[in-house]
Structure 1
Amino acid sequence: MTREPAAAEPGPGHGGDDPAGPRWVLGVDSGGSGLRVALASAGDLARPETTASREPVRTGAAGIDAGHLLEQLLPMARDLLARVGGPGVPRLSAVAVGAAGMATLGDGLRAELPAALAAELGVRRLALAADGVTAYAGALGQRPGAVVAAGTGMIALGTDLTSWQRADGWGHLLGDCGGGAWIGRAGLDAAMRAHDGRRGGSAALLALAEERFGPAAGLPARIYPRTDRPAVLAAFAPDVARAALDDSVAAGILREAAGHIAEAAAAVCPAGDGGEVALTGGLFKMGEPLLAPLRAELAEQLPYADAVSATGDPLHGALVIAAALAVDGLRLPCDGRLLHVPQEAADR
């Protein structure tokens, strides 16, 4: 087993803190359900102080709104620092911000956050990461392997610690195959087939769809206009898992989803024995109806890799990255988009 990251082993003289005291690091997780922030000692990430906002950071034509993120993050960070400050407010050694869409929509964050966080919080060690990267760091730390993060969507990310490999994560219209929205849409397709009398229908899924959404004939009007359509589709995924216990069509949907998830993991996992694959995200809370076929698919498609439990979630992963950065121990590959460390921070 590869040794855990050096973030757990702080040494003196890094990050601007008193060498006799803890090096405080801040982790940020920004996604569709809001903003979560955690503060911890770089040497003890297991007991962070946390806070959260249910207001998602806005995204517009210019990408993720840096001003809106800072408007929420700065008071949350100051509150957390005050909680642990005692007689004086501690200084931050490093910050890691993980955000959904960072790779493609994060230009504003990359341009504005380094100077803003240096001015407002006095921190110059900063990492900006895609949420897939923080999910990876939360699940596997800084070890090589692959992580599948699945909730409403689905993305697989792997690294040999030299470069990143990504599979899927292309959204519910172009991909996210095997994710919650994909399973929900497939389940509703089977429900509508049963409503029409077409092959491939499931009476059980039709009954569950009408229980959740109302009469089948009205489903298009209730789903198509929704701006949160992926989440609405994903809400039906647990119903598919429920039906799969007794319904062959629903069970077949989950087997197909498991195949897609394993394909994505196989596409990004470094070759060779000793690799690890971790699963993280709310989708896997559906339990055995999905996990049983997924274990079989992983064993077939990735016989050289070990399936392991995720150590933590993306917020924990942001702390792992920040703690590693604080002690010059960051081993995960930086590439400018998936994991961006501004040059000033990298040179310190």
Structure 2
Amino acid sequence: MTSPAVPEPSPGVLAVDSGGSGLRVALATTDGGAPAVRSSRSPVRTGARGIDPEHLMAQLLPMVRSLAAETRVSRPVTAVVGAAGLATLGGALRAELPGALAREFGVGTTALAADAVTAYAGALGTGPGAVLAAGTGLIAIGTDLTSWQRADGWGHLLGDCGGGAWIGRAGLEAALRAHDGRPGGSAALLAGAEEQFGPMPGLPGLLYPRPDRAAVLASFAPRVAACAPADRVAADILRAAARHMADSAVAVCPPDAEPRPRVAVTGGLVKLGDPLLVPLAEELARRLPYARRVAAAGDPLDGAVRIALALTAGTLGLPVDGAMLCVAPRVNGAS
């Protein structure tokens, strides 16, 4: 009997989506086939040097090796890493990650992108417009294809207004108000908080010491959405979130772009459904009448794959700069 033919190894691209809720990695062939994907729920650490490149590589190594074992990718010729906080916390990544990827995987070209840029590429591809990347955090990004404009994305302590952590924190505050007997509380949110986290006096001890506080806060956002149809306080929180999201979209959407700019919403908050999306649609229609609302074509990991394939083919049409999307010099000795 003749043994089945073994597919020839092929060059490929590596795409990474690093956010507040964890890490996702894709390995795809350059012919545009469906990528193989791995994920981790452990966010990459942020320390004194910003986003920690060693922690990122420690997670990437086993994930990429596992992906390579199930695909016909011989090596990734291009890597695109989309990271939350890159613009303000990405100094160490820019300095060290291209060399590490070249040494470990033979990557020749590495691009580092803010997660908002990969969200944009996944949702809209190329063309002028704006994207609200609404997950654990919240950032808006827009472009007229000559430069990027961003709004918010300042993290759960300083901003990310309307994002998952913001909604969850507001919901837990309403729960604590009800627990204390203060005005503005919600008995429904209190019951949900106790079911999820236990007695309220123990909540600070569960939350404050954790390095993934933003993700823990965001984990309460679905409870807020579930309560909203019957609870005025929860509904008001989501209406306020929609206003904050629209504020950011208005700040970045190019008003004079041709063709007519598109606006899309991507990220985990889309799963909250009508309690958030209905007031958000109303706000966007009222405040961006010149823009066309469209469904996101894909997510940030799809966007990282799309950018990697375009870089490999030399067809990238999005603005490249030193902060939001930068292509590192080719590392000497890379394959």
User: What is the aligned counterpart of 2:102 among 115, 118, 127?
Assistant: 118
- How is 1:180-191 mapped onto 2 (pairs within 5 angstroms)? 180-191=164-175
- Displacement of 1:114 in angstroms is 2.5
User: What is the aligned counterpart of 1:319 among 276, 287, 305?
Assistant: 305
Q: TM-score, normalised by structure 1?
A: 0.84
Q: Specify whether residues 74 and 173 from structure 1 end up closer, same or farther in structure 2 by C-alpha distance, changes over 3 A only.
A: closer
1:36 paired residue number: 24
SS of residue paired to 2:233: helix
1:7 paired residue number: none
Deviations 1:272-307 (A, max 9, x none): 371111111111201001111111011011111122
Q: Specify whether residues 189 and 120 from structure 1 end up closer, same or farther in structure 2 by C-alpha distance, changes over 3 A only.
A: closer
Q: Does 1:334 align with 2:320?
A: yes
Q: Specify whether residues 76 and 344 from structure 1 end up closer, same or farther in structure 2 by C-alpha distance, changes over 3 A only.
A: same
State the identity as a percent. 66
Q: Does 1:84 align with 2:78?
A: no
SS of residue paired to 2:168: helix
- One-letter code aligned to 1:51: R
2:84 paired residue number: 100
Equivalent-residue separation in structure 2 for 1:153 and 1:94 (angstroms): 28
Deviations 1:88-133 (A, max 9, x none): x634332111122222222222122333333443332221111111
Q: Does 1:292 align with 2:270?
A: no
Q: Does 1:61 align with 2:48?
A: yes
Q: Specify whether residues 102 and 244 from structure 1 end up closer, same or farther in structure 2 by C-alpha distance, changes over 3 A only.
A: same
Verify the 8 A CA contact 1:22 1:43 in the aligned structure 2.
Answer: no
User: What is the aligned counterpart of 2:111 among 127, 141, 144?
Assistant: 127
Deviations 1:34-55 (A, max 9, x none): 332212233425x112233444
Equivalent-residue separation in structure 2 for 1:231 and 1:114 (angstroms): 28
Q: Specify whether residues 123 and 227 from structure 1 end up closer, same or farther in structure 2 by C-alpha distance, changes over 3 A only.
A: closer
SS of residue paired to 1:90: strand
User: What is the aligned counterpart of 2:177 among 186, 193, 214?
Assistant: 193
- One-letter code aligned to 1:312: G
2:4 paired residue number: none
Q: Specify whether residues 215 and 300 from structure 1 end up closer, same or farther in structure 2 by C-alpha distance, changes over 3 A only.
A: same
- One-letter code aligned to 1:124: G
SS of residue paired to 2:179: helix
User: What is the aligned counterpart of 1:52 among 34, 39, 51?
Assistant: 39
**Which residues of structure 2 form unaligned runs of 5+?**
1-7
- One-letter code aligned to 1:130: A
Verify the 8 A CA contact 2:21 2:215 in the aligned structure 1.
Answer: no
Question: May I ask how many residue pairs the two structures share in their alignment?
Answer: 322
Verify the 8 A CA contact 1:205 1:243 in the aligned structure 2.
Answer: yes
Q: Does 1:168 align with 2:152?
A: yes
- How is 1:179-328 mapped onto 2 (pairs within 5 angstroms)? 179-272=163-256, 274-328=260-314
Verify the 8 A CA contact 1:147 1:280 in the aligned structure 2.
Answer: yes
- Displacement of 1:23 in angstroms is 5.4
User: Aligned-pair RMSD on alpha carbons?
Assistant: 2.4
Equivalent-residue separation in structure 2 for 1:118 and 1:196 (angstroms): 56
Q: Structure 1 residues 168-177 or 269-278, which shifts more?
A: 269-278
2:5 paired residue number: none
- One-letter code aligned to 2:93: L
Q: Does 1:159 align with 2:147?
A: no
Q: Specify whether residues 195 and 55 from structure 1 end up closer, same or farther in structure 2 by C-alpha distance, changes over 3 A only.
A: closer
1:150 paired residue number: 134
Q: Specify whether residues 309 and 71 from structure 1 end up closer, same or farther in structure 2 by C-alpha distance, changes over 3 A only.
A: same
- One-letter code aligned to 2:114: A
Equivalent-residue separation in structure 2 for 1:212 and 1:339 (angstroms): 38
- Displacement of 1:80 in angstroms is 3.2
Verify the 8 A CA contact 1:94 1:123 in the aligned structure 2.
Answer: yes
Equivalent-residue separation in structure 1 for 2:262 and 2:111 (angstroms): 24
Q: Structure 1 residues 250-259 or 188-197, which shifts more?
A: 188-197
- Displacement of 1:218 in angstroms is 4.2
Q: Structure 1 residues 27-36 or 169-178, which shifts more?
A: 27-36
SS of residue paired to 1:155: strand
Equivalent-residue separation in structure 2 for 1:223 and 1:39 (angstroms): 35
- One-letter code aligned to 1:42: T
Equivalent-residue separation in structure 1 for 2:232 and 2:272 (angstroms): 17
Q: TM-score, normalised by structure 2?
A: 0.87
**Which residues of structure 1 form unaligned runs of 5+?**
1-19
